[in-house]
């Protein structure tokens, strides 16, 4: 399940007031999520969650749910 914090980071970065993000949502389904904004979203997530991603980790994330799992694996419980 996608956290509210992750939803807010993505929506803020894309300047969207509302969008129904689900675990299965892929970047191409989200308005404004292109290759440049992808970088900005990843940087905003790193800053917002105080974590760092490796390039290969990002490439393995196929949807928002995968991205949430990656965040969860890096944020201390």
Q: Which domains does the chain have, with CATH numbers?
A: 4-74 (1.10.1200.10)
The kind and range of the H/E element at 69 are helix 64-74
Backbone angles phi, psi at 57, to 5 degrees: -60, -45
Average pLDDT along the chain, 77 residues, taken 10 residues at a time = 96 96 97 96 97 94 97 89
- Note the pLDDT of residue 48: 97
pTM over 0.85: yes
Q: In degrees, to the nearest 5, what angle opens at C-alpha 34 toward C-alphas 67 and 12?
A: 65
pLDDT at 76: 81
């Amino acid at each position: 399940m996608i956290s509210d914090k992750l939803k807010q980071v993505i929506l803020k970065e894309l300047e969207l007031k509302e969008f129904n993000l689900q675990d299965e949502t892929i970047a191409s389904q989200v308005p404004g999520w292109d290759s440049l904004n992808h970088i900005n979203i990843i940087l905003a997530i790193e800053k917002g969650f105080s974590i760092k991603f490796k390039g290969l980790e990002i490439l393995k994330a196929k949807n928002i749910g995968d991205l949430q799992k990656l965040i969860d694996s890096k944020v201390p419980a």
